[in-house]
Structure 1
Amino acid sequence: MIPIKIVSANPLNPQYEYLKDAADIINQGGLVLVPTDTVYGIAADSKNEKAIERLYEIKKRPPEKRFALLIDAKEKIEDIAVDIPVVAYKLMDKFWPGPLTLVFKAKEKDTIAVRLPDNLITQKIITLSRTNVVCPSANLSGEPASGEFSDAIKDFKGAVDYAIDAGPCELGVESSVVDLTAHPLQIVREGAIKKEEIMAVAYKKNVLFVCTGNSCRSVMAEAYLEKKLQEDGRNDVEVISAGLMMLPGMGATEETKELLEEEGIDVSGHRSQRLTRELLDKSDIILVMENLHEERIRQLYPKALNRVYLLKEFAQIKGDSLDISDPIGKSIEFYRQTFVVIKDSIERIMNIL
């Protein structure tokens, strides 16, 4: 039996020295019992073989059952996993940080399970440790996990080096686990997030419209597609828009608002947003207005290119040019001609989506 230090931490404003002590112990190959948003877990350095062997031993866990990694930022998944599918980004966008563990193809192994917990204490410990941290639930293998410190510590008082009592975990239920390496994806464990919620997000199509300023063409396309989907009673498509070159937070042009008002659509609340990698990652279909937009995305993020189409191309509209010209600074008649083309395109793609 080893000596253990138990500290009580404020879950909303945890004492820095406790977090630093926990991180240092993990870096030294120790085991730390920590709260998460789901249940209490035991954190260890994934790269320390002795720590991992000890963790398997105290949990009496079969060696073929791997431990999941906890990370402190979504972006870190790029350093851990490969061939990340669009559905993964949709699930991460919706449920991370939170009680969802995702299984990916790994860079160093065949597969790896990863989660971003919604718990300040655990996130800060991971950040301070500067290593990849595994954190299985604090229970003997086959026994129920608990969100109560008293239940979690009872079997590990002489087995872990440090323990943080932050009161009851928020959820008290283990995370749901989704295997993204299976086709179609598989719900390995239904935990805090119900299967229906996961599947609804996974199989909803994300359509992203891109133009230059996100004040005219992409706004028209987004608003009109949303209207058509609503008229058809469909909720299986999510529509967003963005611009390549603009100041975020700008409204739609007056001409755009006027034309959409004629369709019974109010876009007075629209605020422009810049195209980001995050938007591209989670979009199943990316529809652009001009060849220059497609080329710019090719330069910025070639990984998304097989999901990028010119709107007129995707709508299978024939003609000498597949570009939809920018009406900014032009007459209301030019705007109207542009909107007619966009409306025609949207009506054609309704059966494709």
Structure 2
Amino acid sequence: MMVSINSDNPQARLIKQMVGILEEGGVIIYPTDTVYGIGCDITNKNAVERVAQIRGIDPQKAMFSFICQDISQVTEYSATINNDIFRVMKHNLPGPFTFILKSNNRTPKVLKNRKETIGVRIIDNNIVDALVRGLGRPILTASLKHDDTVMEYYTDPHEIDAAYGKRVDAIINGGTGGDQASTIIDCTGEQAVLQREGVGVLK
């Protein structure tokens, strides 16, 4: 099922429908401020494992990130964030960044890796913001990579529907997606360290 949602002013009825799918353990594909993503409710173990299966990743080795509505929600799942890291996050979020932080005991076990770290995003996209706020908790996110050797990510929602329409519960058409992933910043030490260059440029 593909649903078109206005990226400037998301229709409340359609957001509620998508949130309902997430609450029931569904998997959806949605636009972000970088590339299209696939995800689910982070508290639903079966849904997280289903995302891993669709992406062809071993859930025990997957390095999934999740989307929070604000920094306050990030702190619910991360270890203590020092003042320098907090300032970097505050100046650059919401935006096209993934921040790697040390996790705490509230992080669902299925999302924990051997390093006890998590990747968090606060996305500058009205549709995703409405989804996370409607759900009331973070949404798992994984980039929707293309099988094409030239094109790394899917950008056309209709092409996404043809490839994944029968494997997920809903696809949100929010317009043409980007073709470059988020910038990854490692914040597990005392200072923020660039791990992967992407769309975001730190302020």
Q: Compute the TM-score of the two structures, normalised by the length of structure 1.
A: 0.51
Q: Secondary structure at the match of 1:155?
A: helix
- Report which of the two has the higher share of helix: 1
Distance 1:152 1:182 in 2: 38
Q: Secondary structure at the match of 1:47?
A: coil
Cross-structure match for 1:38: 34
Alpha-carbon deviation of 1:148?
A: 3.0
Give the alignment of 1:331-350 within 5 angstroms.
Answer: none
Query: Higher relative contact order at CA 8 Å, sep ≥6: structure 1 or structure 2?
Result: 2
Cross-structure match for 1:132: 138
Question: 2:91 matched to 1:94?
Answer: yes
Alpha-carbon deviation of 1:184?
A: 5.2
Give the alignment of 1:1-353 within 5 angstroms.
Answer: 5-63=1-59, 64-108=61-105, 109=112, 110-139=116-145, 144-169=152-177, 171-182=178-189, 185-193=192-200, 197-198=201-202, 201=203
Distance 1:146 1:163 in 2: 13
Unaligned runs of 5+ residues in structure 2 are 106-111
Aligned length: 191
1:145 partner amino acid: Y
Q: Is the 8 A contact 2:2 2:165 kept in 1?
A: no
Q: Is the 8 A contact 1:45 1:131 kept in 2?
A: yes
Distance 1:83 1:65 in 2: 24
Distance 1:180 1:48 in 2: 26
Q: Is the 8 A contact 1:138 1:153 kept in 2?
A: no
Distance 1:32 1:92 in 2: 27
Alpha-carbon deviation of 1:183?
A: 5.7
Q: Compute the TM-score of the two structures, normalised by the length of structure 2.
A: 0.85
**Are residues 90 and 102 of structure 1, via their aligned partners in 2, closer, same or farther at CA, if it must alter by over 3 Å?**
same
Q: Secondary structure at the match of 1:52?
A: helix
Distance 2:72 2:130 in 1: 16
**Are residues 183 and 131 of structure 1, via their aligned partners in 2, closer, same or farther at CA, if it must alter by over 3 Å?**
closer
1:126 partner amino acid: V
Q: Is the 8 A contact 1:19 1:124 kept in 2?
A: yes
